[in-house]
Amino acid sequence: MHLTRRALLTGASLIALSSTALARTYIGGVPWEPEAANPPQVFDPSARFFTSGERDFVTAAVDRLIPEDEFASASQAGVVTFLENQLSGAYGRGDIYYMHAPFSRGEPSQGYQERAPAILYRQAIADIAARLQADKNKTFQELSEEEQDQFLLDLSNGDVELEHVDAKTFFDTFWQDTQLGFFGDPVHGGNRDMVSWRMVGFPGARYDYRPYIDHNGRELNFEPISVAGAISQGGKS
């Protein structure tokens, strides 16, 4: 039940006390307990959201968005694994987003108006397959690279009519998530071996650059490091 102030003041230099109600009341000190760090959650390599057909589309599409060159493509860098993790978790469910009805499209300036990202992806991928089947009698993977790029560009401009979802909203979400998998810390499943960081020259989760403040435009050549603690092995991109 409720705690009086007097009861809480007794004996404590303070404290996150054990019962849930007590743990939320703080008096008389800065709460601290040992081994209470809040480290990142490491991705689950076995996490699955996509069906095998969905995964084929996603793999083909992310590799047109970020294709292979001297550096890995999106899928080679683990972006599909990243997406599987994201969409099967809190992000996919939209746990922290406002997801109450009624839903309505509105103006672009009013932002995302679709259901939770997992629903958006699943529906958009099905709608895209149906659209391509109707228009070209092909899957996305069966299109030429040029046709795939054109289709993605049309999606990005909202020039593709999808049955249930807004094409541009899906593209914007998919493209942002793809980049996030590519550039984000490898602890989340993408950016394998910190490939994107080595590509651009970002040192990752270092935290003290004081010796380099006066770099004056010279190249610094750090090996990147992840919040998971791993240092890049260099080697093949």
Partner 1 sequence: MSKKLPRRDVVIVGFGWTGAIMAEQLTAEGLDVVALERGVWRDTSTDYAVTNAQDEVRYRYRDELFEVLSRESLTFRNNTSQDALPMRMLGSFLPGTNVGGSGVHWNGQTWRFLPSDFQARTHNEERYGPLPEDMTVQDWGITYDELEPYYTQFEDICGIAGKAGNLNGEIQEGGNPFEGRRSSEYPNPPMEMVLAPKLFAKAASELGHNPFPGPSANMSQPYTNPLGVQLGPCTYCGFCEKYACGNYSKATAATTILPVLMRRDNFELRTQAMVLRVLKTGDGRMADGVEYITPEGEVYHQPADIVILAAYITHNVHLMLVSDIGEPYDPRSGEGVVGKNYAYQVTSGVSVFFDKDVHINPYVGAGALGMVIDEFNGDNFDHTGLGFIGGGYIATWQTNGRPMETHRVPEGTPKFGAGWKQAVRDNYNHSLGIGTHGAVMSYRGNYLDLDPTYKDAYGRPLMRMTFDFGDNEMKMSNFLTDRAVEIARAMNGREIRVARRTRPYSIVPYQSTHNTGGTIMGDNPRDSVINKYQQSWDLPNLFLTGAGAFPQNAGYNPTGTVGALAYHTANAIRTQYLRSPGPLVQA
Nearer to partner 1, 12 or 130 (CB): 12
**From 59-67, 118-126, 131-139, 160-168, span contacting partner 1 (CB under 8 A):** 59-67
- Please list, in sequence order, all residues whose beta carbon lies within 8 angstroms of the beta carbon of residue 50, skipping any fewer than 6 positions away: 58, 80, 83, 84, 87
Nearer to partner 1, 51 or 216 (CB): 216
**From 44-52, 123-131, 135-143, 152-160, span contacting partner 1 (CB under 8 A):** 152-160
The number of beta carbons lying within 10 Å of the beta carbon of residue 132 is: 20
- In whole angstroms, the minimum distance from the beta carbon of 8 to partner 1 comes to 7
Exactly one of 126, 156, 158, 164 binds partner 1 (CB under 8 A); that residue is: 156
CB-CB contact of 187 with 227 (8 Å) = yes
DSSP labels, 149-189: HHHHHHHHTT-S--SSS-HHHHHHHHHHHHHHHHHS-GGGS
Minimal CA–CA distance to 121: which of 95, 157, 87? 87
Cα Rg, the chain, nearest whole Å: 23
Q: Tell which positions 97-126 bind partner 1, by CB under 8 A.
A: 97-100, 102, 104, 106-113
Minimal CA–CA distance to 71: which of 200, 176, 178, 221? 200
Q: How far apart are alpha carbons 186 and 162 in whole angstroms? A: 33
Q: How far apart are alpha carbons 77 and 80 in whole angstroms? A: 8
- In whole angstroms, the minimum distance from the beta carbon of 225 to partner 1 comes to 9
- In whole angstroms, the minimum distance from the beta carbon of 70 to partner 1 comes to 9
Exactly one of 170, 188, 193, 232 binds partner 1 (CB under 8 A); that residue is: 188
CA torsion sign for 197, 70, 233, 218 is negative
Q: Tell which positions 15-44 bind partner 1, by CB under 8 A.
A: 16, 20-21, 24-33, 36-40
Nearer to partner 1, 64 or 131 (CB): 64
What letter does residue 83 receive in the DSSP assignment? H
**From 44-52, 118-126, 129-137, 219-227, span contacting partner 1 (CB under 8 A):** 219-227
Nearer to partner 1, 132 or 225 (CB): 225
Nearer to partner 1, 133 or 141 (CB): 141
Q: Tell which positions 74-93 bind partner 1, by CB under 8 A.
A: 90-91
**From 51-59, 126-134, 135-143, 151-159, span contacting partner 1 (CB under 8 A):** 151-159
Q: Does 48 bind partner 1 (CB under 8 A)?
A: no
Q: How far apart are alpha carbons 105 and 126 in whole angstroms? A: 20
